[in-house]
Amino acid sequence: MTSMAAKSPRAILKTRELGIVLALAALVLYTTINNSRFLSGQSIRDNLLNTAILAVMATGQAVVVITRNIDLSVGSVLGISAFAVATMMSDHPGLPMIVAIVAGLAVGALAGLLNGVLVRYGKVPALVVTLGTLYMYRGITYSWAGGSQVNADELPPHFLNFANDNLLGIPWLVLIALIVVAGTSLVMRNYRVGRELYAMGSSPQAAELAGIKVARNLLGAFVLSGALAGLAGVLFAARFGTVDASAGTGYELNVVAAVVVGGVAVFGGSGTAWGAGLGALLLTVISSALAVLDINQFWQQAIVGALIILAICADRLVAVRIARSLRRRDAHV
Amino acid sequence: MAVATALLEVHDVTKSFGAVAAVQGVSFPLFGGEAHALVGENGAGKSTIVKMLAGVHRPDTGTLRMDDNDVDFAGPANAKAAGIAVIYQEPTLFPDLSVAENIAMGNQPLTRLRQIDRKAMHANAERLFRRLGVHLDPTRPARGLSIADQQLVEIAKALSSEARILIMDEPTAALSRVEVERLFSVVRSLREEGAAILFISHRFEEITELCQRVTIMRDGKLVATELVADLTVDDMIRRMVGRDLSALFPKQEVEPGEVMLDVAGLSREGVFRDVSFTVRAGEIVALAGLVGAGRSEVVQAVFGVDPYDSGTVKVKGKRLKPGSPRAAMAAGLALVPEDRRQQGLVMELSIERNVTLPRARKLARLGLLFGGAERSSAERWTQRLQTKLGNLSDAVGTLSGGNQQKVVLAKWLSTAPQLLIVDEPTRGIDVGTKAEVHRLMSSLAADGLAVVMVSSELPEVLGMADRVVVLREGRVAATLSKAEATEESVMYAAMGQEAA
């Protein structure tokens, strides 16, 4: 529960996230009317499992975008982590799952650290740096794999089962995604470092002058985004079993789309991890709904595109209205 | 009064940016329990001194000493930790965060789980606002605050850090008289508690009112550090500029011509109401009033930047299309806005490009813009306004605050307008340039230009204006002729009180 005192800005964010929930509800309702199987247990489960990987990555991306940066390398980081972990598990089938997860996080964190260092100390815009590392990390994976792939039958059963196992009826994948989103939200909202990340995105110059440890926080944001993409790589490998060097190609655009649709401002300073998670859920449900409704696959991309534009327009509209009402509140002073 | 001890000493510091020596061998002490003024023309190196004390820049040579130890600030965080709080000329707030968060950033109260204690944070902000005597909602975002309110939040921020040394770089430039009074009473109480204050201002009455000691700088060098009581304002000005200045506000007498601007019954819901005034060719009409009285809003509506609900704006008897700055410019209007950073300049563009921006079409040949025409025009105007700059092709953002203001003025004056609207034309400008701007406005008026001037500086209003329109809470409280306008009559009208 949020405190009463933080009503005004929080209420606005609420409406922003409420918008996604309403869109989601309308979509599910319409699709279910047309095909009742859409709300079956298996369908819900598939949707949630498909959302989980995207939501984990979107959470890291949201943190980076909040600082007025972007991380386009996440798809490639997923790829390199998935291939590394799958290779490790097929070579050492005895390793427990937790080692796989830690290895994925570590590979991703390292990739994220390089991004952060180049952005901060190379003074190159994040868009350019991560576009470069997108190709670089992918290239490394390709030359490492050399055309080979890791097949499901080479992987230990406990690794593959992880994607389907439950804890108290909740799939592990979904549980991990929930923990990531909730944990990140908590830190971003209630801890100093989180507020500093918002401050950095809101006004970079003011952040420097306020004595915020900008370099440390920026590296932290990129490391988090990389680590979560690495974690997503482990989940990807466990869920799909077969991993080649192209795993996760093009994912970065889905991730950025989820973040933007989820209401994180592209120019930094506002938005939440919950919003990004909801954005991921909405995008996933749209694609499965289109399949259920038997709408041409190709429409899906157009719809996602329209949704992104709609989300940004809605943000602009809300921002303009807020600015106007704030000015009016000011006028009688 | 507390025994004066040097809390901080600036010792023989030098700082250069490229080939430009911004500060050369400057030394002065800051004593606890004292307010110390730092004065000098634009570009004299005051802001560079501030940035060194704030830990933004490191001195090339020389040292800063606190409590007899050399200190070396690697960044703003170090200066902050050493007990130095800085209020910058341009507010440095986070627009997306709440006012309370802006104040608390970096030292938010924490709960036992090291989470931010929002309740305590809001209570803190409220307590600070009470101390400053202002009414601001701590939970609202900083976005949309007026410059004056932003400045008040900055002040609250500085107070919250319990600083031993408070540095204020022109904190009063955007504040009304009442707000300045409030700020000064807070500063005085801080001073009495033993804090050292470094105060930068171009308003000498404030310096004599608040400060005990003054350091005068010229061209990056120290001129003198003296007790304020030993100097007259004229002494200070003479030493700052290195020459005598004739009368500060030389408005020439001009026979007014035809009515250039006729504003009748202009209203905008919740902002201003029923505002009427006229301006003739050769006249300077001042819009006076407290910050928040709606002065800037009125001129922005006249120029078409903002909409209005009812009323008319006529230029030379013809109705001006509302809400269209393009139509206003075509009718010969020019507006020099108050917030130069956001509205007046494109910081990343070169100086010459900024100066010629509104005339880009006129200067272009066959739709293309050639460098030569831009450059010679820019050169003429920046020279006329004595702008201190390295190269016309440098970005405007690299200039000092006062010089940026000159570029804004050059930009609009070069369009040869018939009606010039200036919002706080000399905010943040040093005396030498101020006199230059006044002389320029006066000579333009003598050439038949009609001028509307929004100003918070009473001496400027009284010296320059042929007529003073005083606004209070969005309405015209009084229209005073030059003879009727005195410091008292304008202030009484602005504050809604009868002469006692």
Q: Which residue has the tokens 């130890």?
A: B69
Res A5: pLDDT: 38
By mean pLDDT, which of A204-213, B228-237, B349-358 is the weakest?
B349-358
**Site from A2, A13, A190, A325 to mutate, B interface, most B CB atoms within 10 angstroms:** A190
**Site from B50, B96, B126, B305 to mutate, A interface, most A CB atoms within 10 angstroms:** B96
Res B499: pLDDT: 42
The conformation of residue B456, written as its DSSP 8-state character, comes to S
**Site from A3, A120, A195, A315 to mutate, B interface, most B CB atoms within 10 angstroms:** A195
Residues near A118 by beta carbon (within 8 Å), at least 6 away in sequence? A124, A129, A132, A133
Residues of A engaging B, defined by a Cβ cutoff of 8 Å: 3, 5-9, 190-192, 195-196, 198-199, 201-203, 205-213, 265, 269-270, 322-323, 326-333
- Hey, are the CB atoms on B94 and A3 less than 8 Å from each other? no
Greatest extent of chain A over all pairs of C-alpha atoms, in Å: 72
Q: Are strands B221-227 and B213-218 parallel, antiparallel or unpaired?
A: antiparallel
Given pLDDT bands bounded at 50, 70 and 90, which one contains residue B341?
Answer: low
Given pLDDT bands bounded at 50, 70 and 90, which one contains residue B19?
Answer: low
Residues of B whose CB is below 8 A from A201? 96
By mean pLDDT, which of A199-213, A291-305, B459-473 is the weakest?
A291-305
Whether the Cβ atoms of residue B237 and residue B431 lie closer than 8 Å to each other = yes
Res B372: pLDDT: 67
Mean pLDDT across the stretch B224-238? 85
3-class secondary structure, B19: coil
Res B250: pLDDT: 64
Residues near A220 by beta carbon (within 8 Å), at least 6 away in sequence? A116, A193
- Hey, are the CB atoms on A270 and B96 less than 8 Å from each other? yes
- Hey, are the CB atoms on A323 and B139 less than 8 Å from each other? no
Residue A61: Cβ within 10 Å count:
34
Nearest to B333 by CA among B296, B295, B291, B305: B305
- Hey, are the CB atoms on B116 and A195 less than 8 Å from each other? yes
- Hey, are the CB atoms on B149 and A333 less than 8 Å from each other? yes
Question: Considering CB atoms only, which of B94, B108, B474 is closest to A202?
Answer: B94
- pTM for this one? 0.73
Q: Which residue has the tokens 């970065």?
A: A252
Most confident of A33-37, A116-120, A318-322, B476-480: A116-120
- Percentage of the residues of chain B whose pLDDT score is greater than 70: 88
- Hey, are the CB atoms on B97 and A195 less than 8 Å from each other? yes
The nearest alpha carbon in chain B to A192 belongs to B116
Residues near B381 by beta carbon (within 8 Å), at least 6 away in sequence? B355, B410, B411, B413, B414
The nearest alpha carbon in chain A to B158 belongs to A210
- Hey, are the CB atoms on A206 and B141 less than 8 Å from each other? no
Q: Which of residues 54-93 of B touch A (CB under 8 A)?
A: 54-56, 75-81, 86, 88, 92-93
Given pLDDT bands bounded at 50, 70 and 90, which one contains residue A272?
Answer: very high
Question: Considering CB atoms only, which of B92, B93, B115 is closest to A191?
Answer: B115
Given pLDDT bands bounded at 50, 70 and 90, which one contains residue A323?
Answer: low
Given pLDDT bands bounded at 50, 70 and 90, which one contains residue A4?
Answer: very low
Question: Between the CA of residue B361 and those of B63, B219, B305, B368, B382, what are the distances in Å?
Answer: 51, 38, 20, 9, 20
Query: B486 to chain A, minimum CA–CA distance in Å?
Result: 25
Residues of B whose CB is below 8 A from A332? 270, 473
Per-residue pLDDT of A68-85, as tens digits, reads 999 999 999 999 999 999
Per-residue pLDDT of B49-87, as tens digits, reads 999 999 989 999 999 998 888 888 888 888 988 889 998
- Hey, are the CB atoms on B76 and A209 less than 8 Å from each other? yes
Q: Which residues of B132-164 are buried (b: 16+ CB within 10 A; e: fewer)?
A: bebebbbbbbbbbbbbbbbbbbbbbbbbbbebb
Question: Considering CB atoms only, which of B93, B119, B144 is closest to A203?
Answer: B93
**The token pair that represents A154 in the structure block:** 């080479």
Per-residue pLDDT of B184-229, as tens digits, reads 888 888 888 888 999 998 778 888 889 999 999 988 889 989 898 8
Question: Between the CA of residue B279 and those of B203, B283, B309, B319, what are the distances in Å?
Answer: 28, 6, 22, 15
Whether the Cβ atoms of residue B430 and residue B202 lie closer than 8 Å to each other = yes
- Percentage of the residues of chain B whose pLDDT score is greater than 90: 23
Res A12: pLDDT: 52
Residues near A297 by beta carbon (within 8 Å), at least 6 away in sequence? A290, A291
Query: A193 to chain B, minimum CA–CA distance in Å?
Result: 9
- Hey, are the CB atoms on A192 and B119 less than 8 Å from each other? no
**Site from B47, B50, B51, B97 to mutate, A interface, most A CB atoms within 10 angstroms:** B97
Strand partners, A187: none
The conformation of residue B279, written as its DSSP 8-state character, comes to E
3-class secondary structure, B141: strand
- Hey, are the CB atoms on B77 and A203 less than 8 Å from each other? no
Of the two residues B406 and A107, the one the predictor is more confident about is A107
H or E element in which residue B301 lies: helix B295-303
Question: Considering CB atoms only, which of B76, B108, B116 is closest to A211?
Answer: B76
Per-residue pLDDT of B92-117, as tens digits, reads 899 999 999 999 988 888 988 889 99
Nearest to B118 by CA among A6, A212, A270: A6
Res B4: pLDDT: 53
**The token pair that represents B149 in the structure block:** 């309110």
- List the helix and strand counts (H, then E) for chain B: 17, 20
Question: Considering CB atoms only, which of A5, A203, A270 is closest to B92?
Answer: A203
Q: Which of residues 345-384 of B touch A (CB under 8 A)?
A: none
Mean pLDDT across the stretch A174-191? 94
Per-residue pLDDT of B461-492, as tens digits, reads 888 889 999 998 888 999 998 888 887 788 77
- Hey, are the CB atoms on A191 and B116 less than 8 Å from each other? yes
ipTM of the complex in this document: 0.82
Query: B267 to chain A, minimum CA–CA distance in Å?
Result: 14
- Hey, are the CB atoms on A333 and B106 less than 8 Å from each other? no
Residues of B whose CB is below 8 A from A11? none
Res B264: pLDDT: 92
The CA distance from B457 to B429, in Å, is: 12
CB of B103 within 8 Å of a chain A CB? The answer is no
Query: B271 to chain A, minimum CA–CA distance in Å?
Result: 6
Query: A325 to chain B, minimum CA–CA distance in Å?
Result: 9
By mean pLDDT, which of A22-31, B34-43, B314-323, B404-413 is the weakest?
B404-413
- Percentage of the residues of chain A whose pLDDT score is greater than 90: 51
Q: Burial, A283: exposed, middle or buried (Cβ in 10 Å; 0-12, 13-18, 19+)?
A: buried
**Site from B88, B94, B269, B342 to mutate, A interface, most A CB atoms within 10 angstroms:** B94
H or E element in which residue B314 lies: strand B310-315
Q: Which of residues 460-499 of B touch A (CB under 8 A)?
A: 473-474
**The token pair that represents A140 in the structure block:** 């490394």
Mean pLDDT of chain A: 87
